Amino acid sequence: MRRRTAFAAAALPLLLTAVACGTAQKTATGASPAATASASGASASGSAAPAATLAGPLGDAKNIKVEGASGVMPKVTFPEGNPALNSSSRVIVPGDGTAAKDGDTLVANVSVYTWDGKENKVVGSAYDKGTPEFVPINQNLPKTLHDGLVGMKPGGRVLVVIAKDSLDQAMIDNAKQQGTDFAVTSQVLVIDVVSAAAKAAVGTAADPGIEGVKLVNPGGEEAPTLTTKTVAQPPKDLVVKTVIKGEGPKVKENQTVMVHYTGKIWGTDQEFDSSWKRGEATQFPLNQVVKGWSQGLTGVPVGSRVVITIPPELGYGKEGNPQGGIKGTDTLVFVVDVLGAV
């Protein structure tokens, strides 16, 4: 199911807040597990203020000191004077294991700093929140950030400086509205890589055992094929059947999950959304989705593939979701790969 709207800037992960409040993200419309939708915008009027400038020589990111072990809040010391206004990256700790590549999603602890040459404040850190976040490596990221993440390994730490040369004008303007002027500041990210999320549930697949639902599991990273064309009556209650049991920790009700999924309507086989067809996994906070998702995925081990049937009252209710072609009487059927939870 596609997101119907972007989340507010305050709810974005720290990484996306750092790159101009998430304007690098693509958004889409359609049916979404989000129970409610919101939109925000900003407009400006009047004449523009003169552009800010820096007096004196610019700083050098090589002089930023990062102390402490990967896996704990870093101690970052900035050089005196102006910030650097060019983007760069530097590996602090290389890590071990499989190197990340384009298209991967990392689980990482991100700490963000505003480098203004004065206070150099901490914007925020995953260590303060007590939970890491998903960091997708894709072409939506500023190039320096993307290239800094490629090649990183679990247990590794990388320092990335995001300056105006990494951002387009829309991102620069949006950041300025949020209080960050990239004409005179840069943002510094220290990213501690925990692991890489799986791309698919892997293992021996069992039949879900739901009358009227068929599932073909081709194996590997290929998407399963869900069929819901049937004259059988749908279950009245929420049904969750495990197809592949993962070996990861069980999902908690207050976590954000990364999933691949296909959603169809019971009886008609009408597909209203599929992350597999979009070519990228999706992240959802379980406390911001329809009840059938939050209840159905809570307690499922990471790495699992499940089939969920959701009755109308645990889905979109009597109103349905006209945008997705879902009526208020429709039972929804999903096949879901749970790839990660933070």
pLDDT of residue 96: 97
Tokens read off for 53: 């400038």
248-303 tens-digit pLDDT? 999 999 999 999 999 999 999 999 999 999 999 999 999 999 999 999 999 999 99
Q: What is the arithmetic mean of pLDDT over 59-70?
A: 95
pLDDT of residue 18: 53
CATH topology match: 9-196 vs 214-341: yes
pLDDT of residue 277: 95
Tokens read off for 203: 């293992």
- Which residue has better confidence, 288 or 27? 288
Cβ-contact 137, 105 below 8 angstroms: yes
Instruction: State percent of the chain over pLDDT 70.
Output: 85
pTM for the complete prediction? 0.81
Q: Which pLDDT band, with edges at 50, 70 and 90, does 114 fall under?
A: very high
Tokens read off for 83: 């910030």
C-alpha 226/C-alpha 222 separation (Å) is 13
C-alpha 45/C-alpha 136 separation (Å) is 36
Pairing of strands 133-136, 75-77: unpaired
CATH code given to domain 214-341: 3.10.50.40
For the chain, domain boundaries: 9-196, 214-341
- Which residue has better confidence, 108 or 28? 108
240 beta partners: 308
Cβ-contact 220, 298 below 8 angstroms: no
H or E stretch covering 176: helix 169-177
Closest CA to 151 of 109, 96, 190, 110: 96
75-101 tens-digit pLDDT? 999 999 999 999 999 999 999 999 999
143-181 tens-digit pLDDT? 999 999 999 999 999 999 999 999 889 888 988 888 889
Tokens read off for 181: 């002027």
pLDDT of residue 39: 36
Calculate the CA 181 to chain-centre distance.
25
Residues near 1 by beta carbon (within 8 Å), at least 6 away in sequence: 30, 31, 32, 33, 261, 263, 272, 273, 275, 282, 324
pLDDT of residue 55: 79
pLDDT of residue 34: 61
CATH class, domain 9-196, is alpha beta
Q: What is the arithmetic mean of pLDDT over 87-116?
A: 96
pLDDT of residue 37: 37
pLDDT of residue 14: 52
pLDDT of residue 50: 62
